[in-house]
Homo-oligomer: A and B are copies of this chain.
Amino acid sequence: MPTPHYGLPRYRVIADQLRERIENGAIPPGALLPAETALTAEFRASRGTIRQAIAALREAGLATTEHGRGTYANAYPDRFSDAQTRRREIAADAELAALFDVEVGATLVEHQSVTRTESKVETVMRVYRLRQTGP
Which residues of A line the B interface, CB within 8 A? 30, 58-59, 61, 64, 66, 72, 74, 80-81, 83, 85, 87, 96, 98-101, 111, 113-115, 120-129
**Stoichiometry, copies per complex:** 2
Q: Which residue of B lies closest to A81 (CB)?
A: B98
When the two chains form the complex, which single residue of B58, B85, B100, B124 contacts A121, counting CB atoms closer than 8 Å? Answer: B100
A74 touches B124 (CB 8 A): no
User: Contacts A66-B87, A87-B66; is A123 near B114 (CB within 8 Å)?
Assistant: no
In whole angstroms, how far apart are the Cα atoms of A81 and B59 in the complex? 19
**Closest Cβ of chain B: how far from A75's Cβ, in Å?**
9
A99 touches B128 (CB 8 A): no
Nearest 5 interchain pairs by C-beta? A124-B128, A126-B126, A125-B127, A64-B111, A99-B121
B87 touches A129 (CB 8 A): no
> In the complex, which residues of chain B have a beta carbon less than 8 angstroms from the beta carbon of A81?
98
